[in-house]
């Protein structure tokens, strides 16, 4: 008698994470065959030789003896207090350590703040393109992601009036990723003020994903959303992974600010979920105070001549030299979201291009459609490789694009 296959949870049918999907699996197979893959599919600084600042490593080592027991469910006090001091320095004055929850990366924080909020069928406004973890977390917690467009022809900025039109009685919150992943867009003050006004009128929660807040180029300025949100609840997400090049430490946090009087029951639910997982990784939390209070080395990387700046410049120049590519230059983060001109290659398909680029040229990218957009002519790359390697990448891309030209 044959054995029945194990059935999976039906809720996973709508969950996608192509950044580590089939293309990444194929890349692993090729590596096992001896090929060297240039992996541009994920923003993982350690893969490209970026080191976590030494002071953070020392802070962890010096406190290992205090890291063997569970800590408070919200996190160790020095880490939470450091987040508070950073927020206050930015003009967010109404926060205390009780408003900060440390998590095993921002990913865990996103999961438990949505789990505490969403009932079946509740809606969350999410940008398109989005970082797909947000859509996945909404679906996994029985909600429905509703997309507002950040169109290429509008510099990947959202339209506040479209956002207003999408709000229904089931809308519980809106997600803003700024600086944006995957596009690198940095939202101007006036736009953020318009969106905050809409959220406050509708009394929905503002979820501000600001993990790339100090990764800015050519004078771009980041406005912390929490400085603008006063009449509704604001949840700001940040962590050590990107600015401090410490992805493997798995340390992120969420800070609540704004109107909290009507959110007591919700925040109690968030704390309950934080308690159920006992606590976040304790050794990594000891690096937070040193990271936030010390010298901000990311500024050396993002100014002209810095490695991140020069890699981004190589991407921009690579696109300019191409007969096929266009790009809205990223003002922030560590990604670019180029497009292929459909008039030059009619019927271009991002998935097919990504597979051919991997198989023929051993370069791994993320197809644009995996970021929940309706078009198929974009792709995302990380700008972490050095400028020499980025030049090689665009040479290889051009050869594959030429092969696809009619």
Measured distance CA(369)–CA(340) in Å, rounded: 13
Residue indicated by tokens 């304790």: 282
Query: Is 393 within 8 Å of 381 (Cβ atoms)?
Result: yes
In this structure, the chain runs to a length of 406
- H or E, element range at 357: helix 350-361
Other C-beta atoms closer than 10 Å to the C-beta of 34 total 6
Structural domains of the chain ordered from first start: 10-51+300-404 (3.90.1150.10), 54-293 (3.40.640.10)
Give the whole-angstrom CA distance, residue 278 versus residue 107. Answer: 16
Task: Report which of 201, 243, 251 is spatially closest to residue 222, judged by C-alpha positions.
Answer: 243
Tokens found for residue 382: 């990380």
- Largest pairwise CA distance in the chain: 68
Confidence at residue 1, expressed as pLDDT on a 0 to 100 scale: 59
DSSP line for 48-84: GT----HHHHHHHHHTGGG-SS---TT--HHHHHHHH
As a whole number of Å, the CA-based R_g of the chain is 21
247: phi then psi, degrees, rounded to nearest 5: -55, -45
Question: Which pLDDT belongs to residue 8?
Answer: 75
Residue 5's pLDDT is 81
Shortest CA distance to 229 belongs to which of 204, 252, 266? 204
Q: DSSP string of 151-169?
A: -GGGTT-B-HHHHHHH--T
- DSSP letters for 242-298: STT--GGG--EEEEEEE--GGGHHHHHHHHHHHHHT----HHHHHHHHHHHHS--TH
pTM reported for the whole predicted model: 0.93
Q: Report how far residue 146's alpha carbon sits from residue 404's, in angstroms, rounded to the nearest whole number.
A: 34
- Do residues 173 and 205 make contact, with C-beta atoms less than 8 angstroms apart? yes
CA distance between the termini of the chain? 53
Residues of the chain with pLDDT under 50: none
Rounding to the nearest 10 degrees, give the CA dihedral for residues 78, 81, 82, 83. 130
Q: What's residue 353's pLDDT?
A: 94
User: Nearest-CA neighbor of 390 among 309, 333, 326?
Assistant: 309
Q: To which residue do tokens 């977390």 refer? A: 137
- Give the C-alpha separation, 86 to 210, whole Å: 13
Q: Are 260 and 233 in contact (CB under 8 A)?
A: yes
């Amino acid at each position: 008698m044959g054995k029945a296959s194990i059935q999976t949870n039906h809720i996973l049918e709508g969950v996608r994470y192509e950044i580590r999907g089939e293309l990444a699996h194929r890349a692993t197979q090729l590596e096992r065959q001896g090929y060297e893959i240039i992996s541009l599919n994920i923003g993982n600084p350690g893969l490209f030789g970026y080191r976590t600042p030494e002071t953070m490593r020392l802070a962890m080592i010096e406190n290992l003896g205090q890291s063997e027991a569970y800590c408070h469910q919200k996190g160790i006090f020095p880490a939470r207090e450091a987040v508070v001091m950073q927020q206050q320095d930015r003009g967010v004055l109404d926060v205390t350590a009780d408003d900060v929850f440390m998590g095993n990366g921002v990913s865990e924080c996103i999961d438990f703040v949505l789990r505490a909020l969403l009932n079946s069928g509740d809606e969350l406004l999410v940008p398109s393109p989005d970082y797909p973890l947000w859509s996945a977390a909404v679906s996994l917690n029985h909600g429905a992601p509703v997309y507002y467009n950040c169109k290429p022809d509008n510099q990947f900025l959202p339209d506040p009036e479209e956002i207003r039109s999408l709000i229904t009685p089931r809308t519980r919150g809106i997600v803003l990723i700024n600086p944006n992943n995957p596009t690198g867009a940095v939202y101007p003050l006036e736009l953020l003020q318009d969106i905050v006004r809409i959220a406050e009128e509708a009394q929905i929660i503002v979820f501000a994903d600001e993990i790339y807040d100090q990764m800015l180029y050519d004078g771009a300025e980041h406005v912390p959303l929490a400085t603008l949100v006063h009449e509704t609840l604001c949840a700001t997400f940040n962590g050590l992974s990107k600015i401090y090049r410490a992805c493997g430490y798995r340390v992120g946090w969420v800070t609540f600010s704004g109107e909290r009087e009507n959110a007591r029951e919700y925040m109690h639910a968030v704390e309950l979920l934080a308690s159920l997982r006992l606590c976040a990784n304790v050794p990594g939390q000891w690096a937070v105070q040193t990271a936030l209070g010390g010298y901000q080395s990311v500024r050396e990387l993002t100014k002209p001549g810095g490695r991140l700046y020069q890699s981004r410049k190589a991407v921009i120049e690579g696109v300019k030299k191409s007969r096929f590519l266009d790009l809205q230059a990223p003002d922030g983060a560590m990604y670019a979201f180029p497009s292929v001109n459909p008039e030059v290659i009619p019927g271009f398909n991002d998935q097919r291009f990504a597979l051919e680029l991997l198989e023929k040229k051993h370069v791994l990218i993320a197809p644009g459609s995996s970021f929940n957009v309706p078009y198929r002519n974009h792709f995302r790359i990380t700008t972490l490789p050095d400028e020499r390697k980025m030049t090689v990448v665009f040479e290889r891309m051009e050869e594959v694009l030429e092969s696809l030209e009619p």
